[in-house]
Amino acid sequence: MFGLFRFDWTILIILPGLFISIWAQIKVSTTYNKYSKVFTKRGITGAEAARAILDANGLSYVKIERVRGHLTDHYDPRKNVIRLSDSVYGSTSTAAVGVAAHEAGHAVQYSQDYFPIKIRGAVIPVSRFGSMLSIPLFFIGLIFYYEGLMLLGIILYGAVAFFQLVTLPVEFNASSRALRALDGSGILAKDELSSAKKVLSAAAMTYVAALLTSLLTLLRLLVLAGSRGNRR
């Protein structure tokens, strides 16, 4: 049992994912800050852009609310509400308009029964459970030689990784819808559209990094389980 407290080399497996996640967070922060200072020629705010996209898609019933925080923007499908952060709601920057349009894209996805978002919605309860209990269960099983707990931990963490996987097409598609809507409606000019695209692309990298981290963590659990089995 004391051997468990020696250096665990398997931690090195997840380091690339952690480094990329940190880089992605820095990238999205610096990109947003840069283009939050580039304002739209038409002076349209994030909330106005989201409202225009919603109305154009027959979603006048979807509300837009302001919430505190920075980049805490999200769409709540249960209440049909887009919540835009202080830094997005009333801002006329290309960054804010891009983020707001992205959230409107999620609302459109739900209204059109976009298949990947339905899968993600079905997986959310299991992934939340897995994110809380998978690692503790696995390491309890590892320490006390309970293979059943180790397997359960791996399965639950697999649900977390699967959630991250199905999140990718959902987020990329929402950004694609946003950019098409901003371009087609003339809300943003061509040069402004490029700014919004850079912000959304940087944000997308955080989801790629999250998927990579979860896959590497899952690999680590499998390696630990395999090595424990070989020592018995």
* Residue 109 near residue 117, CB atoms below 8 Å: yes
Residue 110 has which token pair? 């739900």
Residues ≥6 apart with Cβ < 8 Å to 82: 50, 54, 62, 63, 64, 65, 73, 74, 75, 76, 100, 103, 104, 106, 107
Query: Is 171 one of the catalytic residues?
Result: no
Radius of gyration over every alpha carbon of the chain, rounded to an integer in angstroms: 21
| Catalytic annotation, pick one of 48, 103, 171, 192 | 103
Residues ≥6 apart with Cβ < 8 Å to 121: 77
| Distance separating alpha carbons of residues 103 and 170, to the nearest angstrom | 11
CB burial of 165-189 (b: ≥16 within 10 Å; e: otherwise) equals bbbbbbbbbbbebbbebbbeeebbe
Please give the positions annotated as active site.
103
